[in-house]
Amino acid sequence: MKSITINGLKRESVGKVATKALRNAGKVPCVVYGGDTPIHFSADEIAFKDLVYTPDVHTVVIALEDGTKVECILQDIQFHPVNDKIIHIDFYQIFDDKEVTMEIPVRIVGNSKGVRNGGVLRIVNRKLRVKALPKNLPDFIEADITEMRIGNKMYITEIEQDKFKIMHGENTVICQVRTSRTVIADEEEEEGEEGEDGAEGEEATSEAAPAEAPAEE
């Protein structure tokens, strides 16, 4: 999985006054949990742009001014209810030998036969909870819909899970191809065309029959 480095400063004071001053200065107060003790730090709001405003997921390396580097994942984020600015972020520290759970985006690939025939693809789960060692966390979960026909559903059991485990029930649906009015119309047209072809074939046969009669005399 891709990683993003964020440069931060340790917070000496974590009170309301100090927190408000940080936000007024364009910085975001943050906390890293999961280690021996919580780590309080702050960073410029713009530093989180590639982490927050993207459909992709990343691990994060927090680089503090004293040389300390902490590898973690985004756990929770709070936005201002009016201006939508980031007001607080919680991170969770990860370790190479400990499994971690993250929500991983689903990437749809392939050209479904059902969609080509007029069906509608409905994505039920755009993200899935995955548990794995940090080094085995995927950037995305690939769902190949090439063989899906109208009425088919794709379950998580169809996803290869060699290095990670999807933390959902086996009956969880990723996506499905639903029918539509277009499909019904297409089927009727195909049946009509087949009927016309058959009628034309019969006419051609009847027309050809008299031409063979003189040969029999």
Per residue in 36-90, pLDDT (tens digit) is 999 999 999 999 999 999 989 999 999 999 999 999 999 999 999 999 999 999 9
- Using a pLDDT cut of 90, give the percent of the chain over it: 73
Evaluate whether residue 61 is within a structural domain. Answer: yes
Which of 77, 93, 109 finishes a domain?
Answer: 93
Contacts of 38 (CB under 8 A, 6+ apart): 31, 32
- As a whole number, mean pLDDT of residues 125-154 equals 95
Q: Closest Cα to residue 89, out of 23, 18, 13?
A: 23
pLDDT band per the 50, 70, 90 thresholds, residue 190: very low
Residue 199: inside a domain: no
pLDDT for the residue numbered 208: 47
Domain count, the chain: 2
Distance between CA atoms of residues 56 and 79, nearest Å: 19
Task: Please report, for the domain that includes residue 53, its CATH number.
Answer: 2.40.240.10
Residue 158 pLDDT exceeds 70: yes
Name the least confident of 22-31, 145-154, 189-198. 189-198
SS3 166: strand
Average pLDDT value over all residues in the chain: 86
Band of residue 180 on the pLDDT scale cut at 50, 70, 90: confident
142 and 122 in contact (C-beta within 8 Å)? no
Sheet-wide strand order for 127-132: 141-144, 100-109, 127-132, 165-166
Is the residue at 52 inside a domain?
Answer: yes
Say whether both 107 and 86 belong to one domain. Answer: no
User: What is the percent of the chain with per-residue pLDDT over 70, rounded to a whole number?
Assistant: 83
